[in-house]
Structure 1
Amino acid sequence: MIEPHHSVAFNPNPSKGELSILFSGNSQTKPAHKVGPQVLDYYLIHYVVSGRGTFRCMGHDYHMEKGGSFVIFPGELVSYVSDETAPWSYRWVGFKGTRADELLNKLGLSQHQPVNITQHNRKMNALFYQLEQTLHKRQSNCDMQSQGYMRLILAEYAQKLVKTDVPVEDSQGIQQQIEQAIRWLTLQYHQPISIEQMAQSLGYHRTHLSKMFKQHTGMSPMNFLLKIRMERAKLLLQESLTIDQVASSVGFGDALYFSKQFRKWFGRSPSDYRQDQTTNPYDCRQ
């Protein structure tokens, strides 16, 4: 019988920048061991070394086993549970960074597609192990070393990618279309774009792309774009920018229309939100 165990190492001096490693660890879980539901304020990626389990995010269940990985994105409600007969063992790393989302998107990973399945290989397992051991040693250069291992891990994902965990009836081509559309919207949200432009840029029929996009994400492309813009606007409102400048930065040429959409999305005007942040920066309604 496999004995459960748990180990974690923290970065004593995580830097701020493109990629900041917070901690790393590994666990052999008990049967039916469950984590969550919970919401985190950092990224957390798990790599399954052995066994099986289920990851739940945005109403979707992803059944994972040896070689699979799942990513928890900041602000998303998630839970995960190990199999009752073959409980999983996994390694993980928690991180932040100004380019974290961009780097994950390059791998086709997002809140709407948070899993990556690779052929199990010793190199991936070894990289996670080396990252954790680097943090355990707590040497003066462990922050830089851990960032290096993290980039090697991401590079290994890019090289070893096989498929994503999608329903059997979906083709790989359709999944790639959705990933391309999500990536395009994530990078172009600040432009005054339309679904016609996106479909034309990606070479797909507008109606087909819109139907598949909603089927996979639960949102229309325009609502998904609006969500990206509103979340970005919320961050920009904490900077020294005018409402007009914030609106323009997230793709709205009309500040009044932007304010109307912001109120519909968050229940408060941009000015009220900014005032709330000034008087109570830890307002839980964010």
Structure 2
Amino acid sequence: MPVSSSQPYHSVAFNPHPGKGELTLLFSGQEQTKPQHIVGPQVLDYHLIHYVVSGRGTFRCMGKEYQLTRGSSFFIFPGELVGYSSDESEPWSYRWLGFKGPRADEYLNVMGISQHKPVAVTRNDRKMRALFHQLEQTLHQRQPHCDMQAQGYLRLILAQYAQDLVANTAPHGEASGIQQQVEQAIRWLTFQYHQPISIEQMAQSLGYHRTHLSKMFKQHTGLSPMSFLLKIRMERAKLLLHEPLTIEQVASSVGFTDPLYFSKQFRKWYGRSPSEYRQDHTANPYDCSQ
């Protein structure tokens, strides 16, 4: 049944025989939303990709808003507080897929997708729509072998995203090469922020000299790597303070072994303690601007 551009429509197909490999496809679906259709705020325990077929909408993640139209995609990561809503006059239609797996973050990281960079623009709209359609149709068949076929479509979709992202950020000379090094360091920090890490560890892991990496990082971001790491941790802590967690649990979740030191850093960064921040913002889970 085709999706109408004017009549709301919803369809979803679940994987009847999900495997347990490095990537596991859970479900796929599509929807023509109503005007101002709202989802969230919510936290998921799996990865979710939405591909916008038509219309307009807003995606909210990590305290930021992204305005998305046809050909755009937004990526939801496990444990992140997110929400999204369709436009009032041009409600969007999108296709989606959900997956999980021990290497899911790694695949997205290589593509340049993270919680801090959760959107992408597709160059080959026709091919991407076809892949999502074929994936959903495969799951609707509910055959014993459909998991293997669905896994194939999942990898083709991720490969298409990777191809488009590489094409959109193709290097041009030395400056782009340095930019790639900095972006790689940012991705590393984004995925390791909850660990007790150092610049030496990051430089060794990425294969760069510590002094060179620190210099290039500050030139491109305006912050030292450790200041940038603290920024990531504080932004993440703000979001976690909207959750039913103790201050000690929030501190541990963002890489602090000492909750008192965490509270001191949080006060330096935002001008109030974690407890005061929580009391001031319990009414609005998206009010992360202060």
Band the TM-score falls in, shorter-chain normalisation = 0.5 to 0.7
For structure 1, list consecutive stretches of 5 or more residues without a partner in the other structure: 165-170, 229-259, 268-286
Against the structure 1 CA distance between its residues 173 and 58, is the aligned structure 2 distance closer, same or farther, given a 3 Å change threshold? farther
User: What's 2:141 paired with?
Assistant: 137
Contact kept, 8 Å, 1:48 with 1:67, in 2: the verdict is yes
Which one-letter code corresponds to 1:134 in the other structure? T
RMSD, aligned α-carbons: 3.7
User: What's 1:15 paired with?
Assistant: 19
User: What's 1:98 paired with?
Assistant: 102
Q: Hey, what's the Cα distance between the residues in 2 that align with 1:212 and 1:51?
A: 34
Which one-letter code corresponds to 1:180 in the other structure? Q
User: What's 1:240 paired with?
Assistant: none
Q: Hey, what's the Cα distance between the residues in 2 that align with 1:85 and 1:101?
A: 35
Q: Hey, what's the Cα distance between the residues in 2 that align with 1:102 and 1:108?
A: 10
Which of 88, 93, 113 is equivalent to 2:92? 88
Q: Hey, what's the Cα distance between the residues in 2 that align with 1:36 and 1:130?
A: 28
Against the structure 1 CA distance between its residues 135 and 156, is the aligned structure 2 distance closer, same or farther, given a 3 Å change threshold? same
Residue 85 (structure 1) shift:
1.1
Contact kept, 8 Å, 1:53 with 1:87, in 2: the verdict is yes
Which of 257, 263, 272 is equivalent to 1:262? 257
Contact kept, 8 Å, 1:116 with 1:163, in 2: the verdict is no
The reply to whether residue 221 of structure 1 matches residue 225 of structure 2 is no
Which of 152, 155, 171 is equivalent to 1:151? 155
Residue 222 (structure 1) shift:
5.4
TM-score, normalised by the number of residues in structure 2: 0.67
Can you list the C-alpha shifts for 1:257-285, whole angstroms capped at 9, x where unaligned?
Answer: xxx943539x9xxxxxxxxxxxxxxxxxx
Q: Hey, what's the Cα distance between the residues in 2 that align with 1:203 and 1:130?
A: 49
Q: Hey, what's the Cα distance between the residues in 2 that align with 1:73 and 1:87?
A: 24
Q: Hey, what's the Cα distance between the residues in 1 that align with 2:70 and 2:179?
A: 22
The reply to whether residue 30 of structure 1 matches residue 25 of structure 2 is no
Which one-letter code corresponds to 2:118 in the other structure? P
Bigger drift between 150-159 and 180-189 goes to 180-189
The reply to whether residue 47 of structure 1 matches residue 42 of structure 2 is no
Can you list the C-alpha shifts for 1:11-49, whole angstroms capped at 9, x where unaligned?
Answer: 112111200011100001111111000000000001011
User: What's 1:206 paired with?
Assistant: 214
Q: Hey, what's the Cα distance between the residues in 2 that align with 1:39 and 1:30?
A: 22
Can you list the C-alpha shifts for 1:139-191, whole angstroms capped at 9, x where unaligned?
Answer: 00111111100000011111122659xxxxxx999975653113344489797
Bigger drift between 187-196 and 47-56 goes to 187-196
User: What's 1:123 paired with?
Assistant: 127
Bigger drift between 117-126 and 198-207 goes to 198-207
TM-score, normalised by the number of residues in structure 1: 0.68
Q: Hey, what's the Cα distance between the residues in 1 that align with 2:9 and 2:210?
A: 47
Residue 60 (structure 1) shift:
0.5
User: What's 1:252 paired with?
Assistant: none
The reply to whether residue 57 of structure 1 matches residue 61 of structure 2 is yes
Which of 108, 113, 116 is equivalent to 1:112? 116
Partner SS for 2:99: strand
The reply to whether residue 78 of structure 1 matches residue 82 of structure 2 is yes
Question: May I ask how many residue pairs the two structures share in their alignment?
Answer: 229
Percent of residue pairs identical: 57
Which of 8, 12, 22 is equivalent to 1:4? 8
Contact kept, 8 Å, 2:178 with 2:216, in 1: the verdict is no
Residue 119 (structure 1) shift:
2.1
Residue 51 (structure 1) shift:
0.8
Q: Hey, what's the Cα distance between the residues in 1 that align with 2:179 and 2:53?
A: 26
Q: Hey, what's the Cα distance between the residues in 2 that align with 1:116 and 1:204?
A: 30
Can you list the C-alpha shifts for 1:207-235, whole angstroms capped at 9, x where unaligned?
Answer: 562475588x9x7225658999xxxxxxx
Against the structure 1 CA distance between its residues 129 and 97, is the aligned structure 2 distance closer, same or farther, given a 3 Å change threshold? same
Against the structure 1 CA distance between its residues 81 and 115, is the aligned structure 2 distance closer, same or farther, given a 3 Å change threshold? same
Contact kept, 8 Å, 2:23 with 2:101, in 1: the verdict is yes
Against the structure 1 CA distance between its residues 174 and 38, is the aligned structure 2 distance closer, same or farther, given a 3 Å change threshold? farther
